[in-house]
């Protein structure tokens, strides 16, 4: 393991950011081409963590997609939750969505973003391969894992995770040890070769450098993108929000010159490509959580950061707590009793206007291979879904901790088909307003990524949701 770099020193040695705000230029170009849509295929719900006032679909039949293409708006998300699937199912799913998108869009142009984890977990290159087969040809596939709120930076082609003032190569973080999506390389050129099993060699991978973005600006980005080898892979360096804006403008210019790109990215590029201004975090007046019952927090994620945040919540608040022992959930003889006991505690706490946290036991249970690990995760998630389906008390709000957890609870537990992203509760933590078809219409549903926020972030989210707006005061 290498010695962590100091973020302040590394950033000080970089060229200064490009001068000037390019967002207005992005929005001008979008206004001039209102028929062009960005479609984000999100492999878990946390990809909405940089945007606002955009819809999220959890269904992708042709009529639903055609209706979305016909609505005004420059972007919509499709929640695939493919990170929870084995490779064969993820392939089938992406094929189905791509086929339906082509049928629904007709001649309407659209850009495809295959959104995945900023710490490089997910079905790559499987998903981009399928999308290229069905929706291509593309001039290049762009790899863009930068995500500001999560401290994910790509510098000199190496992807880092910031912990305080330390920049740690991504492959040295716990995320890289993921039982299903683990990897060994932090240099993204080498990571591409590793993930493609040598099909794409590291020396064949192109790179848009920070020097290109910060010194050359959008025009230099445009020129490099237009000169990429057809069908190549290109990684994008970024260490500031302005880097994404400059790259997004160059990308948009290339697209408007007739180029087509497939994006494999974290969340940040979508907001940049839309020219979105940074909005204040959501307040009590924005949220209007209501006051008839308690709020509900459900924690399914197992990444160390989630466990740290849960531990802080339990130690520093008097929130009602219900633990679900995972071994009991995996034992058919004890599963029903375990769920029933949790239901009793939930209804009692929520009806008494107390906030409740329901969490899976923290000892990670693993199987012999990746398929078994996914099976265990899906079995635990199914228990959480069952609990939400059986809820008879509407919570004031619902926080779902973890990408797969929040996806399963939204689609299967709450029956969400279309929601609107209201904004961010905390940096990188989006709030959805559920549609009329959901089990609890208009509920504030907080999609809390497993790997985002400091130790007190979960407690801070609960506290913020308990601040009533003036209109709600008795």
Q: Which helix (H) or strand (E) holds 158?
A: strand 158-163
Q: In angstroms, rounded to a whole number, what is the distance separating the alpha carbons of residues 440 and 48?
A: 20
pLDDT of 213 higher than 50 = yes
* pLDDT above 90 as % of the chain: 79
Instruction: Give CA–CA dist 57/59, Å, rounded.
Output: 5
The pair of structure tokens assigned to 369 is 């291979």
The SS3 assignment for 36 reads: coil
Provide the pLDDT confidence category of residue 289 given band limits of 50, 70 and 90.
Answer: low
pLDDT at 471: 46
The reported pLDDT for the residue numbered 179 is 81
Put simply, whether the predicted model's pTM sits higher than 0.85 gets the answer yes
Q: In what order do the strands lie in the sheet with 166-169?
A: 5-6, 166-169, 158-163, 152-155
DSSP 3-state assignment of 155? strand
SS3 label, residue 143:
strand
pLDDT bucket at 264, cuts 50 / 70 / 90? very high
**Helix axis angle, 23-32 to 241-256, nearest 10°:** 30
pLDDT at 168 exceeding the cut of 70: yes
- Alpha helix ranges (H) inside 198-331: 210-211, 217-226, 241-256, 268-273, 284-287, 304-316, 326-329
User: Which runs of consecutive H residues, i.e. helices, occur in 39-187?
Assistant: 62-70, 87-105, 126-135
Spatial separation of the C-alpha atoms in residues 378 and 395, rounded to whole Å: 24
Q: Which residues of 193-220 are buried (b: 16+ CB within 10 A; e: fewer)?
A: bbbbeeebebeebbbbbbebbbebbbeb
Q: Which of 47-61, 221-235, 335-349, 361-375 has the lowest mean pLDDT?
A: 361-375
C-beta neighbour count of 369 within 10 angstroms = 11
DSSP 5: E
Positive or negative CA dihedral for 37, 121, 379, 441? negative
Left (φ > 0), alpha (ψ -120 to 50) or beta: where does 301 sit?
beta
Partners of 113 in the β-ladder = 40, 263
> CB count, 10 Å around CB of 86?
16
C-alpha span between 413 and 436 (Å, rounded): 15
Q: Please report the pLDDT score of residue 327 as a whole number.
A: 86
pLDDT at site 184: 97
- Say whether pLDDT at 470 is over 50: no
Strands 356-360 and 398-401: unpaired
Q: How confident is the model at residue 178 (pLDDT cuts 50, 70, 90)?
A: confident
Q: What is the pLDDT of residues 396-454, one digit of tens each?
A: 999 999 888 898 999 999 999 999 999 999 998 999 999 999 999 999 999 998 888 89
Q: Domains plus CATH for the chain? A: 5-273 (3.40.50.10840), 284-472 (3.40.980.20)
pLDDT digits (tens, 9 = 90+) for 304-322: 889 999 999 999 999 999 9
Average pLDDT, the chain: 93
> Per-residue confidence at 356, pLDDT binned at 50, 70, 90?
very high
Residues in a beta bridge with 264: 114, 143
CA angle 408, 410, 415 (to 5 degrees): 110
Phi, psi of 271 (to 5 degrees): -60, -40
For 44-86, the pLDDT digits (tens) are 888 899 999 999 999 999 999 999 999 988 899 999 989 988 8
Question: On the CB side of 422, how many CA atoms lie within 13 Å of its CA?
Answer: 22
Encode pLDDT of 2-53 as tens digits: 777 999 999 999 999 999 999 999 999 999 988 899 999 999 888 899 999 9
What is 320-370 written as a DSSP string? EEEEE-HHHHT-HHHHHHHHHHHHHHHHHHHHTT--EEEEE-SSPP--SSH
Q: Are 339 and 347 in contact (CB under 8 A)?
A: no
pLDDT score, position 472 = 47
Please classify residue 471 by burial: count the beta carbons closer than 10 Å to its beta carbon, then call 0-12 exposed, 13-18 middle and 19+ buried: exposed
H helical segments located in 51-119:
62-70, 87-105
Q: At what angle do helices 87-105 and 126-135 cross, to 10 degrees?
A: 30
Q: Are 126 and 114 in contact (CB under 8 A)?
A: no
Q: Give exposure, 383-411, as e/b (b: 16+ Cβ within 10 Å).
A: bbbbbbeebeeebbbbbbbbbbbbbbbbb
Task: State the pLDDT at residue 474.
Answer: 43
* Coil/strand/helix, residue 435: coil
C-alpha–C-alpha distance, residues 374 and 354, integer Å: 33
């Amino acid at each position: 393991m290498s010695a962590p770099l100091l973020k302040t020193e590394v950033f000080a040695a970089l060229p200064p950011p490009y001068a000037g705000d390019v967002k207005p230029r992005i929005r001008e170009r979008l206004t001039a081409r209102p028929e062009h849509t960005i479609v984000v295929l999100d492999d878990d719900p946390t990809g909405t963590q940089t945007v606002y006032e955009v819809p999220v679909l959890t269904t992708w039949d042709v009529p639903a997609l055609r209706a979305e293409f016909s609505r005004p708006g420059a972007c919509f998300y499709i929640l695939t939750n493919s990170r929870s699937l084995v490779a064969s199912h993820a392939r089938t799913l992406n094929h189905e969505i791509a086929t339906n998108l082509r049928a629904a869009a007709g001649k309407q142009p659209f850009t495809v973003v295959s959104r995945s984890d900023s710490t490089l977990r997910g079905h790559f290159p499987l998903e981009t391969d399928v999308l290229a087969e069905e929706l291509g040809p593309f001039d290049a596939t762009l790899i863009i894992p930068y995500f500001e709120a999560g401290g994910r930076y790509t510098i000199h082609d190496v992807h880092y995770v910031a912990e305080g003032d330390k920049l740690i190569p991504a492959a040295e973080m716990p995320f890289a040890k993921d039982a299903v999506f683990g990897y060994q390389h932090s240099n993204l050129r080498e990571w591409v070769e590793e993930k493609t099993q040598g099909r794409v060699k590291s020396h064949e991978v192109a790179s848009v450098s920070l020097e290109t973005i910060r010194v050359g600006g959008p025009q230099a980005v445009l020129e490099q993108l237009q000169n990429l080898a057809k069908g190549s892979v290109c990684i994008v360096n970024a260490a500031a929000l302005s880097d994404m804006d400059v790259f997004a403008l160059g990308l948009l210019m290339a697209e408007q010159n007739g180029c087509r790109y497939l994006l494999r990215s974290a969340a940040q590029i979508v907001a940049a490509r839309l020219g979105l201004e940074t909005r204040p975090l959501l307040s009590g007046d924005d949220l209007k959580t209501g006051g008839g019952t308690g709020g509900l927090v459900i924690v399914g994620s197992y990444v160390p950061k989630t466990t740290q945040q849960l531990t802080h919540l339990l130690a520093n608040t008097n929130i009602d707590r219900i633990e679900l022992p995972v071994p009991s959930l995996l034992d058919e003889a004890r599963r029903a009793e375990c769920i029933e006991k949790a239901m009793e505690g939930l209804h009692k706490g929520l009806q008494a206007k107390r906030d409740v946290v329901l969490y899976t036991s923290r000892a990670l249970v693993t199987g012999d291979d990746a398929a078994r690990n996914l099976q265990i995760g899906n079995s635990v998630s199914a228990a959480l879904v069952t609990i939400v389906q059986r809820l008879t008390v509407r919570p004031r709000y619902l926080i779902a901790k973890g990408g797969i957890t929040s996806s399963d609870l939204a689609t299967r537990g709450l029956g969400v088909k279309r929601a609107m992203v209201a904004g961010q509760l905390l940096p990188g933590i989006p709030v959805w307003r559920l549609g009329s078809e959901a089990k609890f219409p208009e509920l504030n549903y907080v999609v809390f990524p497993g790997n985002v926020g400091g130790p007190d972030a979960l407690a801070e989210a609960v506290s913020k949701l308990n601040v009533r707006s003036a209109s709600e005061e008795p």
